[in-house]
Amino acid sequence: MMKGSIPEDKIDEVKSRINIVDLVAGYVNLKQAGRNFIGLCPFHQEKTPSFTVNPEKQIFYCFGCGEGGNAITFVMKQNNLSFPEAVRYLAGKTGVVLPSRTLSDREKGRLTLREQMLRLHGLAAAYFTDRLEGGEGLTARRYLEQRGIGNGIVREFRLGYALPGWNHLRDYLVRKKIPLPLAEQAGLLARNERGDYYDRFRGRLIFPIEDQSGQIIAFGGRIIGEGTPKYLNSPESVLFSKGKNLYGLSRARDEIRKSGHVILVEGYFDLLALWNAGIGNVVATLGTALTREHVELLRRYTRQAAIVFDADEAGNKALARSLSLFVEGGLHMRAVMLPDGADPDDFVGKSGREKFLALVEGAPPAVEYYLDNFIGDVKSLESGRDALREAMAFIAKMENEAERNLFIKRVAQRIGLDEDVLKAELNRGRSKRTTTTGKESGGKTTAVPVPDALEVTFIALILDHPEKIPAMMSLDALRYFQNDELRKLGEEAAASYERQGRIDLGKFVDRLAQRSLREEILGRVVDSVSWDGETLDRVCRDTVRQIKRKWFKEKRRSLNMLLVRAQQAMDTESCQRLLAEKAELVKYEQSMLLQG
Ligand SMILES: [Zn+2]
């Protein structure tokens, strides 16, 4: 994580002075419940509290939406700040003086720049709105009328109009005493070779782009009449990143919560047309492929998404990519295909709201669509190697076991393969590391391994009870881990404990890239049972023993499978080598089990 230029010890000082309960209480009404405090989650809509703050460990976790972390994470999420900004904010609150050099001019500038830019965007939006409403906006108003967009929508979305011509906005900003370089940075003005500023948006219908809280952070412009490009967006800035923002989200939030799902479309007009038809749980990507950040953003409001795609090849590719992001993010996705390649704007205009909603309602889970289109005509394992390999990578990402098994079953049916054979193939891919490199770790696998419950327990245990780290490490469990990320985290936690005699729980959990892992571990730690010393020791020992057992079991199974293959291929040499390896393994296992 980017730490900016704030020294680590200052960050620690800030953390040690802040009490997460007091901090959160400033935003959430907290009630004590046992060792924890609970309240209504600020990150998702709920009626019964599942937002939990643990004062002892100085972490928070929501059992409803899975948001969690330490005081810094909380401030980042709540106030939409970067890491250094959050630290500075907390430093101010706790009276920790950060060395002045840590607040570089660049950073200081960035903070005020944000505020100035927000003000500028508000000003420009009002200017564009006035142009649309005035006499000079007639063409633009006619255009909207022609596309069936009513006045209510125009006002709701603060649509505007940028006049044709090179310096209307520029002259206005000069009159308002706005520094033109600022407007250039915001992407409202550009500069020619002579160094003169001119309007970036000309002769365009203007769509203000808002962040989740409704502040305008960028603009999109649709050309009216002839001209290219058809759509033009503000460039990326300190306020705006198209991979992290979704058009319409601030307006759609409530409807998404109410309806329980979100509809994803591509363009401004698709979204407006659906609003026009009374469908409000819609957001649009801003002319970019869906990103992991988009999925995270949506996840705050719902777990159900319906995505409208073009049924062409590009659409199929986009679908496969989005689907894998959704699967990873633990969101359920349906694929809405409109007939004859229509876009939502056309379709809802011609066929109406009910027909559109019926299509969304009846849309197949994207996974089904994926099966139909990507391995639909595969007839055998051989002919479908590539499709199968892709499907495997996909399956490996699925974290919900029931869903995964169902998918395996469906793939097996589809290609007429025995389910167990397919599972074995999948396991082979997953345990490649352990079969080829023995008890040594290393060897990258590309598929995302499914987190093992025992390994998660182990990590939760050492983060929760760092004083047990020396004992747990002496049992040498980490080298039997299947999950690289968890193993690395375990190693780092142990190293940190050895160095400092403590570990920073929130920081370690934050490092986990896989969201479901983060949630799982935070959930366990925030609400852990307090054991007496003896029980804790037993739980630790049992966990390690079971991790080892599982490792040996997997290893035996994969060796057996390789043996069968070698026998079938009448490869005597491999057979002998594998048999020797197996004997070695059995001996090793027995010696391990004797040790406990
Ligand atoms: Zn929540």
Give the distance (Å) from ligand 1 centre to CA of residue 300. Answer: 7
Q: Are 129 and 158 in contact (CB under 8 A)?
A: yes
Give the distance (Å) from ligand 1 centre to CA of residue 38. Answer: 11
Q: What is the pLDDT of residue 305?
A: 94
Q: What is the pLDDT of residue 427?
A: 67
In the chain, where the domains are located: 8-103, 107-233, 249-372, 377-430, 453-595
CATH fold of the domain at 249-372:
Dna Topoisomerase Vi A Subunit; Chain: A, domain 2 (3.40.1360)
* Structure tokens, 488: 């690395």
* 385 contact partners, CB below 8 Å, separation of at least 6: none
Q: What is the pLDDT of residue 382?
A: 59
Amino acid at 2: M
Give the distance (Å) from ligand 1 centre to CA of residue 18. Answer: 22
Give the distance (Å) from ligand 1 centre to CA of residue 59. Answer: 14
Q: What is the pLDDT of residue 440?
A: 33
Quickly state the pLDDT bin for 513 (edges 50, 70, 90): confident
Q: Is 3.40.630.30 the CATH number for 8-103? A: no
Give the distance (Å) from ligand 1 centre to CA of residue 132. Answer: 40
Give the distance (Å) from ligand 1 centre to CA of residue 249. Answer: 18
Give the distance (Å) from ligand 1 centre to CA of residue 50. Answer: 7
- Number of helices (H) and strands (E) in the chain: give both, helices first: 27, 15
Give the distance (Å) from ligand 1 centre to CA of residue 287. Answer: 29
Distance separating alpha carbons of residues 249 and 251, to the nearest angstrom: 5
Give the distance (Å) from ligand 1 centre to CA of residue 66. Answer: 6
The predicted-structure confidence for 201-256, as pLDDT tens digits, reads as follows 999 999 999 987 788 999 999 999 888 899 999 999 888 988 889 999 988 988 88
**85 pLDDT higher than 90:** no
Q: What is the pLDDT of residue 105?
A: 67
List the single range of 167-181, 485-499, 516-530 with lowest mean pLDDT.
Answer: 516-530
Q: Are 164 and 203 in contact (CB under 8 A)?
A: yes
The predicted-structure confidence for 524-541, as pLDDT tens digits, reads as follows 888 777 777 888 888 888
Q: What is the pLDDT of residue 66?
A: 80
Give the distance (Å) from ligand 1 centre to CA of residue 105. Answer: 36
Q: What is the pLDDT of residue 274?
A: 95
The predicted-structure confidence for 461-487, as pLDDT tens digits, reads as follows 888 888 889 888 888 889 888 888 889
CATH code of the region 107-233:
3.90.980.10
Give the distance (Å) from ligand 1 centre to CA of residue 303. Answer: 12
Distance separating alpha carbons of residues 235 and 241, to the nearest angstrom: 8
Percent of the chain with pLDDT over 90: 30
Give the distance (Å) from ligand 1 centre to CA of residue 521. Answer: 16
Give the distance (Å) from ligand 1 centre to CA of residue 42. Answer: 7
**584 pLDDT higher than 80:** yes
Q: What is the pLDDT of residue 57?
A: 85
Q: Which letter does DSSP use for residue 426 in this model?
A: H
Give the distance (Å) from ligand 1 centre to CA of residue 51. Answer: 6
* Structure tokens, 198: 């001119």
Give the distance (Å) from ligand 1 centre to CA of residue 30. Answer: 14
Give the distance (Å) from ligand 1 centre to CA of residue 562. Answer: 46
Quickly state the pLDDT bin for 379 (edges 50, 70, 90): low
Mean pLDDT value of segment 324-342: 84
Q: What is the pLDDT of residue 518?
A: 82
Q: Give how far Cα 19 sits from Cα of 39, 57, 58, 151, Å.
A: 16, 10, 7, 49
Give the distance (Å) from ligand 1 centre to CA of residue 486. Answer: 25
Give the distance (Å) from ligand 1 centre to CA of residue 301. Answer: 9
The predicted-structure confidence for 121-148, as pLDDT tens digits, reads as follows 999 999 999 999 999 999 999 999 999 9
Quickly state the pLDDT bin for 428 (edges 50, 70, 90): low
Mean pLDDT value of segment 5-34: 86
List the single range of 280-284, 417-421, 425-429, 475-479 with lowest mean pLDDT.
Answer: 425-429
Q: What is the pLDDT of residue 436?
A: 33
Mean pLDDT, rounded, of the chain: 83
107-233 and 249-372 in the same fold: no
The secondary structure of the chain in percent helix, strand, coil, rounded to multiples of 5, reads 55, 10, 30
Give the distance (Å) from ligand 1 centre to CA of residue 270. Answer: 30
Give the distance (Å) from ligand 1 centre to CA of residue 201. Answer: 40
Give the distance (Å) from ligand 1 centre to CA of residue 94. Answer: 26
Residue 445 φ/ψ region, left for φ over 0, alpha for ψ in the -120 to 50 degree band, beta for the rest: beta
Helix (H) or strand (E) holding 97: none
**What does the chain come to in residues?**
596
Give the distance (Å) from ligand 1 centre to CA of residue 348. Answer: 34
Give the distance (Å) from ligand 1 centre to CA of residue 398. Answer: 22
Give the distance (Å) from ligand 1 centre to CA of residue 13. Answer: 28
Quickly state the pLDDT bin for 101 (edges 50, 70, 90): low
Amino acid at 284: A
Q: What is the three-class DSSP state of 199? A: strand
Mean pLDDT value of segment 484-512: 84
Distance separating alpha carbons of residues 480 and 58, to the nearest angstrom: 31
Residue 434 burial (CB < 10 Å; 0-12/13-18/19+)?
A: buried
Distance separating alpha carbons of residues 322 and 315, to the nearest angstrom: 10
Q: Are 54 and 505 in contact (CB under 8 A)?
A: no
Quickly state the pLDDT bin for 182 (edges 50, 70, 90): very high
Q: What is the pLDDT of residue 441?
A: 36
Please write down the HEC assignment for all residues of 504-531.
Answer: CHHHHHHHCCCHHHHHHHHHHHHCCCCC
The predicted-structure confidence for 245-302, as pLDDT tens digits, reads as follows 999 998 898 888 888 899 999 889 999 999 999 999 999 998 788 888 898 888 878 8
Give the distance (Å) from ligand 1 centre to CA of residue 252. Answer: 18
Give the distance (Å) from ligand 1 centre to CA of residue 347. Answer: 36
Q: Are strands 216-223 and 231-233 parallel, antiparallel or unpaired?
A: antiparallel
Give the distance (Å) from ligand 1 centre to CA of residue 78. Answer: 12
Burial letters for 132-145: b for 16+ Cβ neighbours within 10 Å, e otherwise? bbeeebeebbebbe
Give the distance (Å) from ligand 1 centre to CA of residue 61. Answer: 8
**422 pLDDT higher than 90:** no
**44 pLDDT higher than 90:** no
Q: Pick from 80-94, 101-115, 376-390, 412-426 the range whose average pLDDT is largest.
A: 80-94
Q: Are strands 304-309 and 262-265 parallel, antiparallel or unpaired?
A: parallel
Give the distance (Å) from ligand 1 centre to CA of residue 40. Answer: 8
Q: What is the three-class DSSP state of 161? A: strand
Q: What is the pLDDT of residue 89?
A: 85
